[in-house]
Amino acid sequence: METPNTALQPITHQLTSSTIILTDEGLTISISRRVWTPRHWDRLVNLMLQLVMTGLLWITLPSRVLPIQGQPRWKQITLDGLTCLLFAVMIRSNHPLRKLFDAIDWQSIDVRCTPAYKNQERGAPAYAPQVLFRILVLMFVSGTPFESATLLRLETDLAWRWFAGLSVLCGIPDAGTLSRFRSRVGVERFEAIMVDLIRACDTAGLLGHDESDYDMTGVAASATQATPYQRAVILSKALSTWLDAKHGGVGTIDREQIARIALEVLRATHPSLKTVQPSQIVCSQGTPGNCVQESRRNVSGWWQRILRKISRMKPPAPEAAEVNREQVSQVAQELVPELPQAFGDPDATVGHTRTDGTLCGYRSGFLVDATRFIITAVIFVTLSKTEAPTVTAALDKHYAIFGAYPKRLGLDSAFDRDNVHRYTEEHNIFSGITVRSRPGPAGVFHADACIWNEEGQLICPNGEEMEHIAGPYKNGNDRYRARAECAQCPFFEQCLTAAQREKKLPRRELQTNTAAHQRAQRNRERSRSPEGKAIRRQRFSSEGVFGHVNRFHNGDKAPYRNDSMNHIAQLMVACVYNLEKLATYG
């Protein structure tokens, strides 16, 4: 039975020299002047006078979300007097978050994200995108590793509450709200927000548009690397599934033979499997709690990717004989690229970095303007992808924003590749690329030891001209040979291979792509010029961007569980870094 509504009897509590009174009409807190020192009381009086004169503008601004006719409906957050007083007293005028908030127009984020929302007429009002975006800014600017920890701090941190535009007396968004926000907005809109921020940096004069540097770093995934043994178990199970789906059963090939085939296919890349017996693989497939058993509950993960691959495989012809061992081995090789490299993040892959060695995760690349080290492009790929092609994608993004390429570009030796040389020359970019060491065949001189003179002739290390004798072949290479016998050359042992030295008339021969060889020579000349050396020195300063974001913003850690969400995380890292620069120098 419901209890009848009764008027609340006034509750009064005396706490030292303060009084708290709760009635039906509201809450009253009276703080005696005696608790304040004269200096602090004068500060409070001056502060309140300033707030009254300015209409509490700086306090209420983060919570102001403008409703627009016909646009999505946003939650309107009202600040109460207690919240305003706490913000005024606790958040000083030079607080870093106040500088950060004043750096950009946050309303533009609502405009960017509007197409992702469909609650103009129906559905509950949503948190404005700028509010949720500012919570993500707090996460990355503080280096908090996870959203759950961010929300936990948001509950009690007054400065964070103010920055997010949330009242002390109201609730905060939960982790599900942030997750849906990231998924709804997507990578492209986060990229557009970053571009708006880059343009704001440009308007503030922080970009020089003269010289840029590009590099990549490893980003560790929130995942556990799959062991070779686990991959063998999964491959064996996948082969059994293929046989069941395409042949109606394993037929004459039993489970142990299937496991033996899986081990043979994987041992080429995983020597640790040499001591594993097929019977062990068979037993592991039926153990409760193993990776294959868990995969059946992973309806959207790597096991589903394997099943899709199996479904796309052509079934055998009706007249085909019973499946044989060679066919199973061929199918196993086709399934190997689909095997998971990590559990917890199905998109993470295993690769090598120059600083961390073997890592499970991704690569993140930043194109940095050398004037104030503003990040103008972010590239995010799995760790198994090579670095060199990513710089052209970064430069294309830079061009899409500014309609021009940087005049000069600094790169390390990982990008000393012909596709990079060709791209920079085609777009008139003076590239200072650190020259990569290229050992020649069997320890002799590499083709780079031969150079092109101004007449377009290939000159050997001893200064003699080499003649074109064949090519170009299908791979684009030409064959060149020394015009004269090399037996008396001082570089005889260093320039000729053992087979060439044993010939009756020993002469150096080499195959090379002429155009690529000439581009590599021009890169060496640029890199060793005074301007190239200056670019390479500047590049070391730009590498400090990675050190900063890794140390303070968790730039080397992927907090989410798939490629697209971790791509958003890297975009947030770049946004926060640029926002700090804009707040400092803008």
Helices (H), 61-95: 81-90
What is the distance of C-alpha 385 from the center of its chain?
13
Q: What is the pLDDT of residue 4?
A: 52
Give me the count of residues in the chain.
Answer: 586
Tell me if 495 sits within 8 A of 508, measured CB to CB: yes
Q: What is the pLDDT of residue 545?
A: 95
The domain limits of the chain are 56-203, 211-220+356-561, 227-340
Average the pLDDT over 30-36 and give the result.
85
Q: Report pLDDT digits (tens) over 446-457.
A: 888 899 999 899
Q: Is the pLDDT of residue 499 over 50?
A: yes
Q: What is the pLDDT of residue 75?
A: 93
> What are all long-range contacts of 287-295, with beta carbons under 8 Å and residues at least 24 apart?
290/233, 291/226, 291/230, 291/233, 291/234, 291/343, 292/233, 292/234, 292/237, 295/234
Average the pLDDT over 225-246 and give the result.
88
Q: Is the pLDDT of residue 503 over 50?
A: yes
DSSP helix/strand/coil, 444: coil
333 CB-near residues (< 8 Å, 6+ apart): 265
- Burial-class residue 10 by CB neighbours within 10 Å (0-12, 13-18, 19+): exposed
Q: What is the pLDDT of residue 185?
A: 97
Average the pLDDT over 236-241 and give the result.
89
Tell me if 296 sits within 8 A of 303, measured CB to CB: yes
Residue % of the chain over a pLDDT of 70: 94
Structure tokens at 455: 């007449």
Ranges 76-80, 442-446, 551-555: which has the least confidence: 442-446
Q: What are the b/e assignments for 465-501, b being 16+ CB within 10 Å?
A: ebeeeebeeeeebbbbbbeeebeebeeeeebbbeebe
CA-nearest of 360, 356, 363, 364 to 343 is: 360
Structure tokens at 486: 């090399």
Ranges 55-64, 253-262, 313-322, 384-393: which has the least confidence: 313-322
Q: What is the pLDDT of residue 428?
A: 97
- Burial-class residue 162 by CB neighbours within 10 Å (0-12, 13-18, 19+): buried
* Rounded CA Rg of the chain: 33
Q: What is the pLDDT of residue 509?
A: 87
317 pLDDT tier (thresholds 50, 70, 90):
low
Q: Report pLDDT digits (tens) over 318-369.
A: 545 567 888 889 999 999 988 988 888 988 998 887 766 788 999 999 999 9
Q: What is the mean pLDDT of the chain?
A: 89
Q: What is the pLDDT of residue 321?
A: 54
Average the pLDDT over 60-89 and give the result.
88
Q: How far apart are CA 217 and CA 548, in angstroms?
A: 12
Q: What is the pLDDT of residue 318?
A: 54
300 pLDDT tier (thresholds 50, 70, 90):
very low
Sign of the four-CA dihedral 301, 306, 309, 314? negative
Ranges 410-424, 438-452, 464-478, 482-496: which has the least confidence: 438-452
Q: Is the pLDDT of residue 384 over 90?
A: no
Q: Is the pLDDT of residue 530 over 90?
A: yes
Q: What is the pLDDT of residue 429?
A: 97
Q: Is the pLDDT of residue 286 over 80?
A: no
85 pLDDT tier (thresholds 50, 70, 90):
confident
Q: How far apart are CA 387 and CA 411, in angstroms?
A: 11
Q: What is the pLDDT of residue 569?
A: 98
| Look-up of token digits 């006034």 | 10
Q: Is the pLDDT of residue 406 over 80?
A: yes
Give, as one character, the DSSP assignment of residue 462.
Answer: T
CA-nearest of 193, 84, 88, 81 to 134 is: 193
DSSP letter for each residue of 475-530: TS-EEEEESS--TT-TTHHHHS-HHHHTSSS---EEEE-HHHHHHHHHHHHHHHSH
Average the pLDDT over 412-430 and give the result.
95
56 pLDDT tier (thresholds 50, 70, 90):
confident
CA dihedral 232, 236, 241, 247 (to 10 degrees): 140
Q: How far apart are CA 275 and CA 228, in angstroms?
A: 12
Q: How far apart are CA 321 and CA 330, in angstroms?
A: 16
Euclidean distance between the first and the last CA atom of the chain, given in angstroms as a whole number: 64
**Bridge partner list, 22:** 11, 27
Q: Is the pLDDT of residue 288 over 50?
A: no
Q: What is the pLDDT of residue 148?
A: 95
Give, as one character, the DSSP assignment of residue 106.
Answer: T
Give, as one character, the DSSP assignment of residue 290.
Answer: S
Average the pLDDT over 173-177 and give the result.
96
**Bridge partner list, 27:** 22
Q: How far apart are CA 360 and CA 345, in angstroms?
A: 10
Q: How far apart are CA 261 and CA 277, in angstroms?
A: 11
Q: What is the pLDDT of residue 2?
A: 52
Tell me if 521 sits within 8 A of 471, measured CB to CB: no
Q: Is the pLDDT of residue 78 over 50?
A: yes
- Burial-class residue 100 by CB neighbours within 10 Å (0-12, 13-18, 19+): buried
